[in-house]
Amino acid sequence: MTQKVAVLGTGKIGEALLSGMIRGGWSPADLLFTARRRERADEIRGRYGIEAVSNAEAAKTADTLILTVKPQDMGALLDELAPHVPSDRLVISGAAGIPTAYLEQRLAAGTPVVRVMTNTPALVDEAMSVISAGSHATAEHLAHAEEIFGGVGKTLRVPEAQQDAATALSGSGPAYFYFLVEAMTDAGILLGLPRDKAHDLIVQAAIGAAVMLRDSGEHPVKLREAVTSPAGTTINAIRELERHGVRAALLAAIEAARDRSRELASGTG
């Protein structure tokens, strides 16, 4: 039986999912989407040939609903959807910090909910999507979520109790790397390199290092040590990073992101 999937609140991530599903073999006729602005709806419709509908129509028609709105907009969306979502619909939430129980309490009893935290590399099919089951979601529901999000990168199942940590590491993770690249580019300029050349050097170093981490199977300490010669340039740089507490700052930053995810879940933010 053909499954119809609707993406609600189609921003960049929602569009990436639609695009990924089409590349993965889904027919545009089996996809629906909603968008807040008419201009956005026209843009998506024209680009992919997918029908734009209202949130209520999506809830009535689609077998799977993917909610890609911001956490602060989730309550209003659920209030709009609740009268129209039968308990046999699969609801996938992509909102940071919002637990599955929050959705289950506002939808029909027994509605299966899956929580997914993806990240912006979904735009280039290199996402890391972390998937957790709600209390009514089955292995089949999780596999369906993996099929959808697998079109834009890798997927990983974790217990929902680990979602806030995954959000801090992976959901926010790309921003930490961009921040580091920005700082290293400034360092290149300080050392006399033009910005474009400093940028190219750092980006390729980052890509190469990431591929080695992924493909070698080696611990990052071992890979770092392979670059760190006795009394060489790298060990002097590492000494300064440790002296300035970069490792401790990263630990504190990621812990702060985890805490913010918890605040979103508790409704205190």
pLDDT digits (tens, 9 = 90+) for 143-152: 999 999 999 9
Report d(CA 247, CA 216) in Å as an integer: 23
Q: Where are the alpha helices (DSSP H) in the chain?
A: 12-23, 38-48, 55-61, 74-81, 100-106, 139-149, 163-166, 173-190, 195-216, 220-227, 233-243, 246-266
Is the pLDDT confidence value at 236 over 90?
A: yes
* Mean pLDDT along residues 152-159: 96
Please state whether the predicted TM-score (pTM) of the whole model is above 0.85: yes
Q: Which pLDDT belongs to residue 68?
A: 94
Quote the pLDDT of residue 133.
Answer: 98
Q: Say what the pLDDT of residue 224 is.
A: 96
pLDDT band at 3 (very low <50, low <70, confident <90, very high): confident
For residue 13, what are the contacts with CB-CB under 8 A and spacing of at least 6?
A: 68, 94, 118, 120, 122, 123
The predicted structure's pLDDT at residue 41: 95
